[in-house]
Structure 1
Amino acid sequence: MPNMTASITRFSASRPERLLAGILLAALLVLLPWGAQAETRMRSGEIVRGDTGYVLNADIELDLNPRLLDAVSRGISLYFTTELVIERPRWYWLNKAVVDRSLDYRLYYHAITRSYRLSVGSIHQSYDDLESAVRTMTRIRNWHVADFDVLEAGVSHEVAIRFRLDTSQLPKPFQVTAIGSSDWNVGTEWLRWTFLPGVPGFR
């Protein structure tokens, strides 16, 4: 009987440890699919003739991970940028970059108005929820990227576009944290295609 009592006592002492380990494992299993599903990618991109020049339309898929969601909710501004490069091939040398532009966003939470704000240059817009602000940022329409005379008609041009979080504009402590962290390394691969500008005056 004494030996049995000692055995029961040891089992009771280790039970909280096994319970804690089980809770941590369950939490990890819940969080892993969330992280695996988070993806940022260029879904589509095109350049078309507008009224005064060539404009770009693009759709981006962006899922903010828990780290970024927490940062925004605490009032930290997140800066995103869409980068566009258009090159004209040269048979005798490297391609010539004729367009190199960026579209910069600032996304943040305004505690006084309890709204999310999206800034593009001097233009500001407020949203009741974060999803609406992100949807606006990732649906680019009629972005003027070049005048008609910049892209030579009838000559194929190579287009490349990507979207990323600009960690260089985060507060200094966050910049240090972002180094080597996958939570802050948010961005797409370059989406590339060939574009043939039309003859001026025709769509």
Structure 2
Amino acid sequence: MPNMTASTTPFCASRLERLLRHVAFVLLTCFAVLVRADDGAIRSAEIVRGEGGYVLNADIDIELNSRLVDAVSRGVSLYFTTELVIERPRWYWFNRVVVDRSLEYRLYYHAITRSYRLSIGSFHQSFDSLEAAVMTMRRVRNWQVADLATLEAGVSHQVAVRFRLDTSQLPKPFQVTAIGSRDWNLGTDWLHWTFLPGAPGFQ
């Protein structure tokens, strides 16, 4: 009887390789789901014409998990950012980015006054509770993102906005801890929509 070992071994190895690839894919998918378990969402967003240009209003559904609450209570400053990108489509090339803005937040606990402080740019506000400070971050109102001349009236623009914890501004030991940790991977997906300058609201 002929020896079949030489012909069956490559086949078995191929099946084993495919099985391992499948298992790895499933594990990575599960890991991604776990990492994103504490993510929030942009519930609503719109760009409207204000007094000096176009402004963004948005409502963000976000909650600090116990790890972040503990960090703030122990005096660690947390930095968050709302990011906005507006692009003008071009049929002959990639979209042209006409607006790329960020609204920066710093959240920290002031032990002497026993209050939570939220800094938004040069504006500072104190709160008796952490929940009140977070609620303020959730509501973006009248954030001017573009001058009237920046967005061409009557031309559709693609808008994207998201909110996230900026771990790059954490103290170095916390930056290391944050790598691959679901507790420090707090944020939302990008919300996309089409905006037509010169028209009310967006579609």
TM-score range, shorter chain: 0.7 to 0.9
The within-5 A match list for 1:1-203 is: 38-198=38-198
Contact 1:39–1:61, Cα closer than 8 Å, also in 2: no
Deviation (angstroms), 1:38 = 4.4
| Residue deviations 1:175-199 (CA, integer Å, cap 9, x gap) | 0000000100111000000000007
CA distance in structure 2 between the partners assigned to 1:69 and 1:178 by the alignment: 15
Instruction: Quote the RMSD (CA, aligned, Å).
Output: 1.5
Q: Who wins on radius of gyration, i.e. which is larger?
A: 1
| Residue deviations 1:72-119 (CA, integer Å, cap 9, x gap) | 110100000000000000010000000000000000000000000000
Q: Aligned with 2:181: secondary structure?
A: coil
Q: Aligned with 1:176: secondary structure?
A: helix
Give the structure-2-normalised TM-score.
Answer: 0.79
Give the match for residue 32 of structure 1.
Answer: none
CA distance in structure 2 between the partners assigned to 1:122 and 1:155 by the alignment: 34
Where do 5+ consecutive residues of structure 1 fail to align? 1-34
**How many residue pairs were aligned?**
165
| Higher mean C-alpha deviation, range 168-177 or range 121-130 | 121-130
Give the match for residue 29 of structure 1.
Answer: none
CA distance in structure 2 between the partners assigned to 1:192 and 1:177 by the alignment: 31
**After TM superposition, where is structure 1 displaced by more than 3 Å over at least 4 residues in a row?**
35-39
| Residue deviations 1:2-59 (CA, integer Å, cap 9, x gap) | xxxxxxxxxxxxxxxxxxxxxxxxxxxxxxxxx9984411111000000110000000
CA distance in structure 2 between the partners assigned to 1:56 and 1:133 by the alignment: 20
Q: Give the structure, 1 or 2, with the largest relative contact order (CA under 8 Å, sep 6 or more).
A: 2
Identity of aligned residues (%): 76
Where do 5+ consecutive residues of structure 2 fail to align? 1-34
Give the structure-1-normalised TM-score.
Answer: 0.79
Contact 2:116–2:128, Cα closer than 8 Å, also in 1: yes
Q: Aligned with 1:175: secondary structure?
A: helix
